[in-house]
Amino acid sequence: MTDGRDGRVERGNQTRRLILGRTVDIASVEGLEGLSLGRIATELKLSKSGVFALFGSKEELQLATVRAAVAVYVERVIAPVRDLPPGPGRVWALCENWLGYSEQRVFAGGCFFYGVSAEFDARSGPVREAIAKARQDWVAYVERTLEEARTAGGFDASMDVGQVAFELIALMEAANAQSVLHDDDSAYDRAAKGILSRLRADVTDPGALPQRP
Q: Per residue in 78-106, pLDDT tens? A: 999 999 999 999 999 999 999 999 999 99
Domain 58-208 part of CATH 1.10.357.10: yes
Per-residue pLDDT of the chain (213 residues; tens, 9 = 90+): 445 666 677 787 899 999 999 999 999 999 999 999 999 999 999 999 999 999 999 999 999 999 999 999 999 999 999 999 999 999 999 999 999 999 999 999 999 999 999 999 999 999 999 999 999 999 999 999 999 999 999 999 999 999 999 999 999 999 999 999 999 999 999 999 999 999 999 999 999 999 887
- Model pLDDT, residue 13: 87
First-to-final CA distance of the chain: 57
Q: How far is CA 134 from the centre of its chain?
A: 8
> 95: closest CA among 163, 164, 153, 154?
164
Distance CA 162, CA 144 (A): 10
203 forms beta bridges with 155
Catalogue the long-range contacts made by 146-153 (C-beta closer than 8 Å, 24 or more residues apart). Answer: 146/91, 148/86, 148/90, 149/86, 149/87, 149/88, 149/90, 149/91, 151/86, 152/85, 152/86, 152/87, 153/204
